[in-house]
Structure 1
Amino acid sequence: MVKPSRRFRTLLTGIAFATLISGCSTTPEKSGERDTEALITFAENAALDGHYEAAGNAYKQLALLAPANLRADYQLKAATLLLEGNYIAQAKRTLQTIPTATLTPMQQLTLNLLGARIALAEAEPARALELLQQPPSPQTTREQRAEYHLLRAQAYRRAGNLIEAVREYIQREPYLAAPFEVPPETVAAEIEDNQLLIWQTLMMLSETMLEQLRIDPPPDTFSGWLELALLAKNTQRSDATSSARIALSLAIWRERYPDLNVSENILAAIDSWQAGDLQRPEKIALLLPMDGNFSKVARVIRDGFFAAHYNEKSDEKAPSIRIYDTAQEGRTITELYQLAVDDGAEFIVGPLEKTDVDALLKGDNITLPTLTLNYSSDTTMAIDNLYQYGLSPEDEARQLAERAWLDGYNQALAIVPEGAWGARILQAFNERWEGLNGTVVEHQSYASSKNDFSVPLRDLLNIDESQRRKKKLQRLLGSQLKFEPRRRQDADFIFMTAFPRQARLLKPQLKFHYAGDLPVYATSHLYAGYQDKEANRDLDQITFCDIPWVLNNSAEAGNLKSRIEKLWPEQSRQYTRFYAMGIDAYRLVPQLRHMARFRYERLNGETGSLSLNEQNRIFRQLPWAHFKRGIARPL
């Protein structure tokens, strides 16, 4: 939550004082001018301090005071600031008060751009595209045209039309050229970012689609991008002997599209692929605890790792994999790591336990490329050759905060399990939510072993305060009152972390406590990973994130998944996400060096769209789903 600064409090006092003395003025015109100047100063400084609602309301007040020719500008400014603060409903109401008949072309485009932003926040990409049907007029600014194409691209992506999104990103680029007062490096960074959006979108398309859509001959810009993406996809799956051919193909592409100035980072990434950055090591050491508390999860990860190994279709020689048991007595994790090095391992995967990861990092003897299967306690440490990967619930909490913010919410309630695990998830959510200027108005924890969560839910929803008001009124009036308790009204959604049993109890109990109308956003833990229509009926309308392995039904993933389910029917239901983790761990091994060089590159894996941050931690971008009639349906 943004706390009022001293400057903001001073301005607020000044506005009140100006309003108080304005009645003493003998000239109404001068009084109005002073009020306008004070409101403008207040609004500008409130916006600088991040108080967007106050700033927006000040501009709405200015619109009431302004002459007719300035009124629309103030209203549009009010809506813009309210959107900055994510006050979607208020911004929408403000736009609805603007008469459109007298708007200039620039004002009309601004109105449509703001309306499209609101439509995207309300998950209505079709409405956004409808508002942006009319191309900008010649009188509009370069910045407005750039935003117009960006919003259309975002709407097409939300609607699943990736190819039209690419067209819009391409059309946006000419309008990113900045005026002379803007530093050239700023312009270059904006163009680079836009090209990365083009590239990431293209790489989500299949080779067949890229081939079919490449209709116009060179030097057509759109066809040039499609051809380069097709070349990159061919490169990714080529073996080492084809590097010369790929280099020649890239040179031919440059000749065919000489005016297409693609980012050197993108071209360097393709060069690195053909130069052998993706070669798989010949010997892999897999460090896992085969006994103890983590042994069941370890065995599932192992089986997923080997399933990916045997499922791989490649002309290259398959690597040999040797397992080292980190649970055996008499050896520390650093000693076991060194043993794997001495045995000739070229790449190490593991360990799994967080304490072992921490010990390995403290040992300062990471001599081989290493992919741990958990994250260290130190979130800031980055070591060359060491990459960290796991199914982090904190990543999910942060993405839920971002999703709720994009959906237009400001005020959160949070409920998580008691204990350190729940506290970690809550902290991750709080930090990201408050970083977005959202407010957590209340949070509570519950005992997972119980069935009745009335006490934490009543505290979360402030039901007892409603009861206290009733009793106070009865004492004052001296009579009994007809009364229905009310929940608090200052929250617009609930963040929840719960496993399936608890989630199926929490959702109906929220409804019982008058919160059935509040949207619920949950981490993947509420979903067992398989369809159970009757058991999950109480989870209807909950929005949650989960891994593609669980939510998607692609043919490639489906074939491997069905084979795993036949081999290990019981474990595949209980530990399905860890099979996916083992598969992605295997697939990450040849990719990590490349991902470290080009941080924007992603691996579309079974546990998410995987990227590498500056601390060499794998970040998982997850797809979304919600329950409808007891079925988890991808969004």
Structure 2
Amino acid sequence: MKSSKFPLRLTSLLLGLGLLSGCGSTPAPVQTVATAPVQPVQTAPQEPEAVAEPLSTEQAEVSYQQVDTDPLPVAQDQDEQLQRELLAQAKAALATDPKRTLAICYQLQQSLYSQIRAQNLLPLLQSAIADKQLALTEQLANQISLTDVPEADRQAFALVLAGHYRQQDDNVRATQTLLALDAWLGNSADSTAQDLLWQQLVKLSGAELQELGTQQHPRAQAWLELLQLTQGFAGDQLAIQQALTDWQQRHPMLPELDKLPKDVQLLSQTPAYNPERIAVLLPLSGPLKSLGDAVQYGLAAAAAKQKRTLVFIDSAKPAAELQAEVAAAQVQFVIGPLLREDIDKIQQLPDWQWPTLFLNGKGDLPAKAEQYFFALAWEDEAAQMVQVFRQRQYQHPVLIYAVNPIGQRMAQHFQSRWSESGGSAVETYSYGSQEQLQALINKFLEAEASEERAKEINRLIGQSIKAELHSRQDIDAIYLIADPVQTRFFKPFIDVTVSPTARRLPIFTSSRSHSLKVDKTDQRDLAGLTMTEMPWLLPQAATATPLRQEFDNLFAEQEEQLQRLFAMGHDALMLVGHLKQQQQFPAMAYHGLTGSLRLADGHSIQRQLTLAQYRQGKLQLVDKKAP
């Protein structure tokens, strides 16, 4: 029999868990079990260091399914047999007591037997996820490659890990995991893995696709090309069917067309809006004419790429007159109006017969069939920031917002989404002036309290001492909702107020803080500030195309609001051919100038913007998972 110290530690573990016969005592805590040094993981699992969303029922069924593994050879000695039995008990306890499973599997990492270590990988990952040990899960994901896992466990391991990434809204790593699984499985497996891969691919935003980059494995690259052609030819059935045939000829190693994921096949068969004439209702007179003109220019830029005729009508006219003019124009689709009151008067008409893409939010009136709503909603940015904070495992963000209608709407939306994601009440501060902003910074960082303590010490000892101010250490991040001037004041003031011994507080904001004019000046004061912004206003984004250069030549120094409306008009026309597909496949996105656009509820377009950060004197794209 081989001699080692492992059996002694293992016996102690068994006794602590009450797994040896005759041991009826209460199991020892997991922390006591896992204090022995083990490899390759260096830190024992503790109580959950971060709140994570529990696995859904469907994912739990995948996670906990027992996979028959290849039979091991006859045990070499009593130690190996004991470890086999222990591993079997750990797998059996997974669904009911993942903490116990984690303790056993954590210890089995140091087994002398390679078969035990390999078959331990899947239940170790499952129990780490089930017990919400996020740091340990991240360690395992980084240290274990798919080829380390026994073939019998490999598919389950990849699906569990991809499910975890989906729960963390980490679409890039979920996609990478499923692409790796597909590369190993090839076409031999059932369609489940490929269906999951396709569902994950269509969720990717434009920035996430850029982050994913070109894939080395030919199957992975073929899937990305399939995604590109289905999105590029959406709305043109003949074109997409021909493109699929060409794709199959280039990639014969992928499934045949009739064996592709069902959504791909349905997409090529789904009819789309393909209007030759479109009526556009915009404010073309009066004080808001400049807004209508900006949207009109964007529509015209998009129309140059399509064979469509646009008929522009002033939306200020009465509803009945608008309806008559649209009918006389013999159009098949309507875009607009832009203003809320103009949309309401059209929605109240009993016999509005055209499919319509309104350029504002849904409002209080119920949406009718073939009515869609596209708004540059600030709430979308607040919801996206909640996702970013969850991805980075922030637990105690501070929300600071300006007291105005937009700031209050964004703050309320952030608070509600944070609560829905499982977070505790957000520490929130509001301000109405720059002076109030400076005061609340001292308040929530508790810098004033630190200064008062220093003064009290000086008073008690009767002499002056030099004391370093200390700020709070429990804040993860700050979400600031402010205009460019307020933001430019806030960021450097935070930097000088936070204690030099404390880690730098990450500060996030929305596109409300962005100013193209400010970007042309020195940006040192904003270094490190991260914001959500539409691709059209980010020079480094993938959409920095000849259209951007042509726009800058024609409309130099145009203010941000009009630039946003130009991008909105462009995307509105491009969306028309995608709406039917997006209604049937909600995860499908159109990557436009204003962001990645999806149809959330069959009627409302939701945007995912690009994450950018001020670095080296300019606003640059960033990896949303970066610390």
* TM-score higher than 0.5: yes
Q: How does 1:217-616 map to 2 (within 5 A)?
A: 225=223, 232=230, 235-236=233-234, 257-258=255-256, 261-272=259-270, 277-279=272-274, 281-292=275-286, 294-310=288-304, 312=305, 314=306, 318-327=307-316, 331-333=317-319, 335-378=321-364, 381-447=366-432, 450=434, 453-466=437-450, 484-514=468-498, 517-529=504-516, 532=519, 534-551=521-538, 553=540, 557-571=544-558, 575-616=562-603
State the AA in 1 paired with 2:584.
Answer: R
Instruction: Determine helix, strand or coil for the equivalent of 1:571.
Output: coil
Whether the aligned pair in 2 keeps the contact of 1:374 and 1:390 (CA below 8 Å) is yes
Mark the CA change 1:555 to 1:142 in structure 2 (over 3 Å): closer, same or farther.
closer
Using the alignment, how far apart are the partners of 1:543 and 1:226 within structure 2?
Answer: 29
Which protein has greater RCO, CA pairs closer than 8 Å, 6+ apart? 2
Deviations 1:92-134 (A, max 9, x none): xx99x9675348334455667899999x989x99995554365
Q: Which residue of 1 aligns with 2:64?
A: none
Using the alignment, how far apart are the partners of 1:480 and 1:262 within structure 2?
Answer: 77
Whether the aligned pair in 2 keeps the contact of 1:521 and 1:542 (CA below 8 Å) is yes
Q: Which residue of 2 aligns with 1:147?
A: 160
Deviations 1:409-460 (A, max 9, x none): 0111011111221110001111111222223442112225x46721232333
Structure 1's unaligned 5+ residue stretches are 1-28, 38-60, 178-186, 216-220
Across the aligned residues of Structure 1 and Structure 2, the Cα RMSD in angstroms comes to 5.1
Is the counterpart of residue 64 in structure 1 residue 32 in structure 2? yes
Deviations 1:204-254 (A, max 9, x none): 989xx99x9896xxxxx76975785576468549686x6886797799999
Number of residue pairs aligned between Structure 1 and Structure 2: 538
Using the alignment, how far apart are the partners of 2:438 and 2:241 within structure 1?
Answer: 68
Mark the CA change 1:234 to 1:452 in structure 2 (over 3 Å): closer, same or farther.
closer
Using the alignment, how far apart are the partners of 2:205 and 2:397 within structure 1?
Answer: 36
Using the alignment, how far apart are the partners of 1:495 and 1:632 within structure 2?
Answer: 18
Using the alignment, how far apart are the partners of 1:226 and 1:465 within structure 2?
Answer: 55
Instruction: Determine helix, strand or coil for the equivalent of 1:582.
Output: helix
Deviations 1:140-163 (A, max 9, x none): 4753242356789999x9889988
The structural deviation recorded for 1:464 is 4.5
Q: How does 1:20-35 map to 2 (within 5 A)?
A: none
**Which piece of structure 1 moves more, 425-434 or 344-353?**
344-353
Identity of aligned residues (%): 23
Whether the aligned pair in 2 keeps the contact of 1:415 and 1:497 (CA below 8 Å) is yes
Instruction: Determine helix, strand or coil for the equivalent of 1:267.
Output: helix
Using the alignment, how far apart are the partners of 1:418 and 1:593 within structure 2?
Answer: 39
Mark the CA change 1:366 to 1:520 in structure 2 (over 3 Å): closer, same or farther.
farther
Whether the aligned pair in 1 keeps the contact of 2:415 and 2:426 (CA below 8 Å) is no
The structural deviation recorded for 1:625 is 1.2
Instruction: Determine helix, strand or coil for the equivalent of 1:625.
Output: strand
Whether the aligned pair in 2 keeps the contact of 1:86 and 1:409 (CA below 8 Å) is no
Whether the aligned pair in 2 keeps the contact of 1:549 and 1:606 (CA below 8 Å) is yes
Using the alignment, how far apart are the partners of 1:567 and 1:411 within structure 2?
Answer: 46
State the AA in 2 paired with 1:605.
Answer: G
Is the counterpart of residue 101 in structure 1 residue 119 in structure 2? no
The structural deviation recorded for 1:532 is 2.6
Whether the aligned pair in 2 keeps the contact of 1:121 and 1:407 (CA below 8 Å) is no
Whether the aligned pair in 1 keeps the contact of 2:162 and 2:173 (CA below 8 Å) is no
Whether the aligned pair in 2 keeps the contact of 1:413 and 1:440 (CA below 8 Å) is no
Using the alignment, how far apart are the partners of 2:244 and 2:152 within structure 1?
Answer: 45
Whether the aligned pair in 1 keeps the contact of 2:480 and 2:507 (CA below 8 Å) is yes
Whether the aligned pair in 1 keeps the contact of 2:535 and 2:543 (CA below 8 Å) is no
What is the TM-score normalised by the length of structure 2?
Answer: 0.70
The structural deviation recorded for 1:582 is 1.3
Using the alignment, how far apart are the partners of 2:315 and 2:232 within structure 1?
Answer: 39
State the AA in 2 paired with 1:367.
Answer: Q
Mark the CA change 1:527 to 1:251 in structure 2 (over 3 Å): closer, same or farther.
closer
Mark the CA change 1:612 to 1:530 in structure 2 (over 3 Å): closer, same or farther.
farther
Instruction: Determine helix, strand or coil for the equivalent of 1:490.
Output: coil
The structural deviation recorded for 1:352 is 1.3
Using the alignment, how far apart are the partners of 1:159 and 1:194 within structure 2?
Answer: 12
State the AA in 1 paired with 2:32.
Answer: L
Using the alignment, how far apart are the partners of 1:148 and 1:455 within structure 2?
Answer: 45
Using the alignment, how far apart are the partners of 1:169 and 1:525 within structure 2?
Answer: 42
Whether the aligned pair in 2 keeps the contact of 1:412 and 1:439 (CA below 8 Å) is no
Using the alignment, how far apart are the partners of 1:457 and 1:256 within structure 2?
Answer: 57
Mark the CA change 1:572 to 1:121 in structure 2 (over 3 Å): closer, same or farther.
farther
Using the alignment, how far apart are the partners of 2:600 and 2:481 within structure 1?
Answer: 25
Whether the aligned pair in 1 keeps the contact of 2:507 and 2:529 (CA below 8 Å) is yes
Q: Which residue of 2 aligns with 1:10?
A: none
Deviations 1:566-625 (A, max 9, x none): 111132666322221111111112222232233222211111111111141111122211
Q: Which one of 167, 171, 179 corresponds to residue 166 of structure 1?
A: 179
Mark the CA change 1:543 to 1:141 in structure 2 (over 3 Å): closer, same or farther.
same
Mark the CA change 1:540 to 1:546 in structure 2 (over 3 Å): closer, same or farther.
same
State the AA in 1 paired with 2:489.
Answer: L
Deviations 1:175-221 (A, max 9, x none): 998xxxxxxxxx96x86443322456699989xx99x9896xxxxx7
State the AA in 1 paired with 2:280.
Answer: L
Whether the aligned pair in 1 keeps the contact of 2:296 and 2:569 (CA below 8 Å) is yes
Using the alignment, how far apart are the partners of 2:393 and 2:189 within structure 1?
Answer: 28
Instruction: Determine helix, strand or coil for the equivalent of 1:286.
Output: strand
Q: Which residue of 1 aligns with 2:197?
A: 194
Whether the aligned pair in 1 keeps the contact of 2:511 and 2:533 (CA below 8 Å) is yes
What is the TM-score normalised by the length of structure 1?
Answer: 0.69
Instruction: Determine helix, strand or coil for the equivalent of 1:590.
Output: helix
Using the alignment, how far apart are the partners of 2:284 and 2:402 within structure 1?
Answer: 29
Using the alignment, how far apart are the partners of 2:470 and 2:498 within structure 1?
Answer: 7
Instruction: Determine helix, strand or coil for the equivalent of 1:401.
Output: helix
The structural deviation recorded for 1:333 is 4.4
Mark the CA change 1:434 to 1:560 in structure 2 (over 3 Å): closer, same or farther.
same
